[in-house]
Amino acid sequence: MTIVRTLREALTIVGFVPPFLLVGHSLGGLYANLYARLYPNEVEGIVFLESSHPKDLSLNEYQGKPVKAINMVFKMFDSLSSHKQFNEVNFVKETVNQIHQIDSFPEIPVYVITGGQENRMMPEKVQKKRLDNQLELLSLSRNSKHIVAEKSGHFPQLSEPTVVIDTIKDCVKQINKTTDF
């Protein structure tokens, strides 16, 4: 909740007033998911952009030796940082547990953007499970849509920004349809 509360406080400080359309990339998807559960009246739509799913935590056990070695090196460097305690990856398990504690998710437009390119560092089995997990995000709402960024991997906002922008615009249109009577 630390990151979600910090986000909420930052939005208030800069003068943004809910309701919000949240766009969560990677781990940011977990935080957008939790934000919507904690503050359902403040969120009118979510775009999950190559987002993590709570089940993604279990994917580490399927990683090959090269990826595990790279992750170990990153953890070593991370341990040298004096700001390590504030690193978002230190809050992932806690955030996942908090998501599991709150069953309800608001009935809002949910868009899931998935990169269509293969990740050579990730075993095929892991890629399949991760895609299944991303598609499961669609079940959070009856008003959901899946978009594949065909030329992208994990960063569609960099390789296909138009896909991301168009998806956000489409989500805004869906929000307006549900709020305009």
CATH of the domain at 122: 3.40.50.1820
- CA–CA separation, 154 and 49 (whole Å): 9
Q: Any residues with CB less than 8 A from the CB of 80 and at least 6 apart, and which?
A: none
- State the residue range of the domain holding 6: 2-179
Span 72-107, pLDDT tens digits: 666 666 566 655 555 556 678 889 999 999 999 999
- CA–CA separation, 40 and 142 (whole Å): 16
CB atoms within 10 A of CB 161: 13
- CA–CA separation, 83 and 151 (whole Å): 35
Overall number of domains in the chain? 1
Would you state the pLDDT for residue 146? Answer: 98
Would you state the pLDDT for residue 140? Answer: 97
pLDDT, one tens digit for every residue, the chain (181 residues)? 788 999 999 999 999 999 999 999 999 999 999 999 999 999 999 999 999 999 988 766 655 666 566 666 666 665 666 555 555 566 788 899 999 999 999 999 999 999 999 877 777 888 899 999 999 999 999 999 999 999 999 999 999 999 999 999 999 999 998 776 5
